[in-house]
Structure 1
Amino acid sequence: MAKYIMLQGTSSHVGKSIIATALCRIFFQERRRVVPFKAQNMALNSYVTKDGKEMGRAQVAQAEAAGMDPQADMNPVLLKPTGDCCSQVIIDGRSVGNMSAKDYHKGYSLTAFSAAKSALARLDKEFEVIVIEGAGSPAEINLKEHDIVNMRVAKYAKSPVLLIADIDRGGSLAALVGTLDLLDETERALVKGLVINKFRGDETLLAPAVRFLEQKTGKPVLGIIPFIDHLGIDDEDSVSLEEKKGDVRSAALKLAVIQVPKISNFTDFDSLAQEPDVSLYYVNQIDELGQPDLILLPGSKNTMEDMIWLNKSGLGKAIAEHVTMGRPVVGICGGYQMLGGEICDPDHTESSLSRVNGLGLLSLTTTFAKEKMTSQVMAICTELPFLGQIITDNTLQGYEIHMGHTVCNNAEERHPIAVTKHVGNICRDISSTARADGLVWGTYIHGIFDNNNFRRAILNCLRLKKGMEPRSLSRDFSAEKQKNYDRLADVVRTHLDMKALRQIMERGIV
């Protein structure tokens, strides 16, 4: 039987995911069979496993830190918001349809919990240590009755809990005390320690606060984790984009990502952001766009409504003008669909709308279907025209997640990126389209920029366009991520009382 530890927070975005990632790495470094688990995730950032199942990105990072391939049992319930008060519900890696928040929480959530229990039981048989992550706060009174990700999980798994607060946003002492006060007696008993996260400055200055917390709550403060800048680990949700919007350093190349309201899989661009000659920034207002060297259109969970927003915001017109001025635009998945001329949803799979016009920069028609395509892929790039250069790469890897079928209506447009192998569901759609002049291209393949040589080839084309010398490949994105996991583990191991944590895990909830 596995040993458990669960991380819950005083609110969303306090660092539960990152500390869970750190613990996965620490136990992996100790050669223990460790696995992450989150019963239910709500996020637009998702990933496809080797067997074609969909799961949240946070548990993917945690699995990587634990030295293993991601699997859907790590995140058996995934909610992907499609519009106001509505989400696509994914159970055990497969979509079971769209539900309103009321229908899900009042009726289906406890059914979904049975999938979470089954997944946890399978993991318990295989692993020594299970690091469980909660969601939001366990003290949301209006949600507790139907909660399947916080205290219900802790009680079921008989797992001790660490409660985490983010001191960087202020009010962390009140948040810890208030959260504990709102829990019932049995829930408070499960909390075995407190953690203060994202601290900046001299830790000794917090000594009075630590004494107060321990006396007030009767719970030990197990750690004060410092703020870690430029962590380089995948973010779980779009909350973190607000932090990235101002992160525009001076660099040779400026890349703008259009932050559509239902942006998904923005981690597609993290590898670009880590390149030393790149300044990558997110834009949701026309006055923020400036004159980037490249515009990137990301994936979307509601492509049609995001397309309407793009035109209403003026950014659609600005993108067209950007291309007219001889500057390129690239679309990934939903962004690829938006580059086309028409997006149709006759069965209202994604939206209440039946049809919208795209940007018209590629001659594509996309029609949504009820069946979702989810697959890891291997692909080749043959003669992609880009800014007067030709890019080839025979070793591309990535994954596809989409419900649209796309056809090209112009024989002069090219399809330079072709999938050679699907692992999961088979897709018969074209995977990419490019204009002959190379200023506009798109693909369904997520993670395409994580391919080191392809990423550098794209950036070198931009450099040549600006009269700069090309650069040789300087970073291996996968290797850099592994170093970042090690750095994170070192910081958390130094600032968290690991001896006390191990004792808590050994004792369990008694």
Structure 2
Amino acid sequence: MKKKGPLQIMFLGTGSDAGKSVIAAGFCRILHRKGYNVAPFKAQNMALNSFVTMDGKEMGRAQVYQAAAAGLLPDVDMNPVLLKPYGNCKTQVILQGKVLVNDTAEGYYRMKEQIFTRVMESYQRLRHRYDTLILEGAGSLTEINLKKSDIVNMEMARAAGAPVIVVADIDRGGVFAALIGTMKLLTPRERKLIIGFIINKFRGSIDLFTDGIKLIEKLTRRPVFGIVPYFDDINLPEEDSVALHSGRKGRRREGADVRIAVISLPLISNYTDFDPLELEKGVSLWYANTPEEILDASVVIIPGTKNTIEDLKWLKEAGFIPVLENLSKGGTSLIGICGGYQMLGNEIRDPYGIESATSRIEGIGFLPIETVLERNKTLTRVSGRCTLDGIQGEQGKGVPIDGYEIHMGKTTVFPGTRRPFIIESKEGTEPEYEEGAVSRDNLVWGTYLHGLFENDLFRERFLIFHGRRGSSGLSYRAYLDAEFDRLAAYIERNVDVEHILKTAERYR
């Protein structure tokens, strides 16, 4: 008797931001709680929020949190292709965790056959390790102008033989055209893989939509498995910058002890670094697009970016530099993370044209460092201690931290400069060295370390140093785990999960 393959469910959307990633994460947690050995998979992701795995490989954040929902450590096979746009119609292509090439969209599409072969390698490895796979697509499943280059939507569904549930965002309007039109645009062979729909982000009384459900089911001959009401009180990491542009991230709170402004760079990356701060009591964190929006901050953060030189030009042209200088003189703390750290130095050079046609640019000049952008990308996980004044803990031993680095540059720190971190472990080895840089007055510091604020003790000491009264006791990882449970319960209340599982079983 032929052995059955894994149970598979693939979520595709009628458009971007329909909620595919969140629904997929919810199903990862639902099936994990039911005892399934489940893993997420997305063939191709386009996002500037990324993560470094334990073996030093880069992948998209969406599959990182989906893996966590499934009770797993992230693995690049869960997201074999990551596309990171960096301006001028160029994209960095990450294949199975490592940089393949920097190219245009046209150049990337010419590599489809080569890349899809590697995608299927990753898929097959997961297929043999897990009894259940939750697959996710990207954007709209019926981008008919891009169909020949598709590796993530119907082409992936066909290759995997995976049953597809189409997720539609009713909050945007036009849900009937989106679902019925989608079915019309699919080929007869593709339609055979569509098992039904989930309507997401519904507002109002579902009872008033009963006739709408009947019409959709009649015209498509597919069931509506559920209607998920709109929610904004379950907090999960965001996949890309859509949440920033839509205003879902960051908000000012009146009377907050600590006021943190994160500068919203045009090519901002890894802003999920600041999610733990946003959750803290007594903290107001917002994303600033203009110099005027940082004037009342007690802490200003220049975050990571996919193009340091071009975003530094934008900072200068937008008038941020004199405002930052005045704030620093007045006692406001200034922090740079990754690309933001590079900007705080004296100069940045790009001799190989990695990011820009500009080969050299003068930095902001707050830290005695210089950076050269190099061809090889640093991807590594580290752990160590923070030795910043006021944060280092009892008897100055240093607060334990862990994090990860994702950057193209090599930074030289001038002799005699104080360093904020001591790295004690790097990908399993134990080389002790200093990292980052601190200004003489202790008001400005920078580091390459992402994920710093996920460290509970470090975050607590940081906030108390900057004026927060008392401790919140927030454990960020425990908080996220509880949010996955809340998401799973919410979906189960509104979606016929058992109907989906029974239908998907027929495709094994």
Instruction: State TM-score, norm by structure 1.
Output: 0.95
Whether contact under 8 Å (1:433, 1:443) holds in the other structure is yes
Q: Which residue of 1 aligns with 2:506?
A: 507
Residue 244 of structure 1 aligns to a residue whose secondary structure is coil
Deviations 1:3-56 (A, max 9, x none): 111000011111000000000001110111000000001110100000001000
Residue from 340, 350, 365 that aligns with 2:370: 365
**Match of 2:289?**
284
Aligned to 1:248: 252
Query: Could you tell me how far 1:431 is from its partner in structure 2?
Result: 2.4
CA distance in 1, matches of 2:176, 2:431: 51
Total equivalences in the alignment = 501
Deviations 1:363-407 (A, max 9, x none): 1101111111111111111243579x9976342111111111111
| From 78, 81, 86, the counterpart of 2:82 | 78
Q: How far 1:503 moved relative to its partner?
A: 1.2
Task: Determine which of 117, 129, 147 is the counterpart of 1:144.
Answer: 147
SS in 2 for 1:143: helix
Match of 1:210 in 2: 213
d(CA) in 1 for partners of 2:506 and 2:314?
53
What SS does the corresponding residue of 1:347 show, helix, strand or coil?
A: coil
> What are the residue-to-residue correspondences of 1:400-439 with 2, within 5 Å?
400-409=405-414, 411=416, 413-423=417-427, 431-439=435-443
Question: Which residue identity lines up with residue 194 of structure 1 in the other structure?
Answer: F
| 1:314 partner letter | G
CA distance in 2, matches of 1:177, 1:285: 42
Structure 1 residue matching 2:309: 3-state secondary structure: helix
CA contact (8 A) 1:2 1:129 kept: yes
Q: Which residue of 2 aligns with 1:7?
A: 11
Equivalent in 86, 91, 100 of residue 104 of structure 2: 100
Which residue is equivalent to 1:196?
A: 199
Deviation at 1:316, TM superposition (A): 2.6
Q: 1:414 to 1:421 in 2, by over 3 A?
A: same
CA distance in 2, matches of 1:207, 1:247: 36
**Is 1:162–1:193's contact at 8 Å kept on the other side of the alignment?**
yes
Question: Which shows bigger deviation, 416-425 or 117-126?
Answer: 416-425
CA distance in 1 between partners of 2:396 and 2:220 (Å): 61
Supply the distance in 1 between the matched residues of 2:98 and 2:431 (Cα, whole angstroms): 16
Matches within 5 A, 1:214-225: 214-225=217-228
**Could you tell me how far 1:506 is from its partner in structure 2?**
0.2
Contact 2:259/2:297 (8 A) holds in 1:
yes
Residue number among 48, 51, 54 corresponding to 1:47 in the alignment: 51
Which residue matches 1:20? 24
What letter matches 2:314 in structure 1? W
Separation (CA, whole Å) in 2 of partners of 1:384 and 1:87: 40
State the alpha-carbon separation in 2 of the partners of residues 380 and 373 from structure 1: 20
Give, in whole Å, the separation in 1 of the partners of 2:503 and 2:322. Answer: 58
1:33 aligned residue: 37
CA contact (8 A) 1:386 1:437 kept: no
Query: What CA distance in whole angstroms lies between the structure 1 residues aligned with 2:448 and 2:221?
Result: 53
In 2, distance between residues paired with 1:174 and 1:427? 59
Identify if the C-alpha distance between structure 1 residues 136 and 424 changes in structure 2 by more than 3 Å, giving closer, same or farther. farther
Contact 2:42 2:135 in 1 (8 A): yes
Deviation at 1:344, TM superposition (A): 0.7
CA contact (8 A) 1:384 1:392 kept: no
Offset, 1:318? 1.9
- With over 3 angstroms needed to count, the CA separation of the structure-2 counterparts of 1:487 and 1:391, relative to structure 1, is farther
Deviation at 1:246, TM superposition (A): 6.5
Matches within 5 A, 1:390-405: 393-405=398-410
Q: Cα distance, 1:276 vs. partner?
A: 1.4
Mean CA deviation greater in 84-93 or 375-384: 375-384
Which residue does 2:478 correspond to in 1?
A: 479
| Residue 111 of structure 1 pairs with residue 110 of structure 2 | no
Counterpart Cα distance in 2 of 1:383 and 1:246: 26
SS in 2 for 1:359: coil
Separation in 2, partners of 1:26, 1:257: 35
Give the Cα–Cα distance (whole angstroms) in 2 for the partners of residues 261 and 425 of structure 1: 36
CA distance in structure 2 between the aligned counterparts of 1:343 and 1:265, rounded to whole angstroms: 21
Aligned-partner residue type, residue 261 of structure 1: P
Residue 325 of structure 1 corresponds to 330
Return the offset for 1:425: 9.7
- Verify the 8 A CA contact 2:386 2:421 in the aligned structure 1: yes
CA distance in 1, matches of 2:100, 2:428: 17
Query: 1:399 aligns to what SS in structure 2?
Result: strand
SS at match of 1:230: coil
Shift of 1:285: 2.1
Say yes or no: does 1:227 pair with 2:230: yes
> Is the 1:35–1:74 contact (alpha carbons within 8 Å) kept by the matching residues of 2?
yes
Distance (Å, rounded) in 2 between the aligned partners of 1:393 and 1:167: 50
CA distance in 1, matches of 2:431, 2:41: 30
Which AA in structure 1 matches 2:480?
K
Distance 2:352 2:428 in 1: 25
Q: Distance in 2 between matches of 1:475 and 1:456?
A: 9
CA contact (8 A) 1:244 1:282 kept: no
Q: Which moved more, 1:1-10 or 1:311-320?
A: 311-320
Amino acid at match of 2:483: N
| Whole-angstrom distance in 2 between the partners of 1:392 and 1:222 | 55
Task: Find the counterpart in structure 2 of residue 308 from structure 1.
Answer: 313
Secondary structure of the residue aligned to 2:25 is: helix
CA distance in 1, matches of 2:399, 2:480: 23
Residue of 464, 469, 480 corresponding to 1:460: 464
1:170 aligns with 2:173: yes
Letter in 1 for 2:495: L
Aligned-pair identity in percent equals 43
Q: Does 1:356 align with 2:361?
A: yes
Amino acid of the residue matched to residue 15 of structure 2?
Answer: S
Deviation by residue 1:274-293 (Cα, 9 ceiling, x = unmatched): 00111111112233334111
Tell me the distance in 1 between the aligned counterparts of 2:251 and 2:414: 39
2:266 paired with 1:261: yes
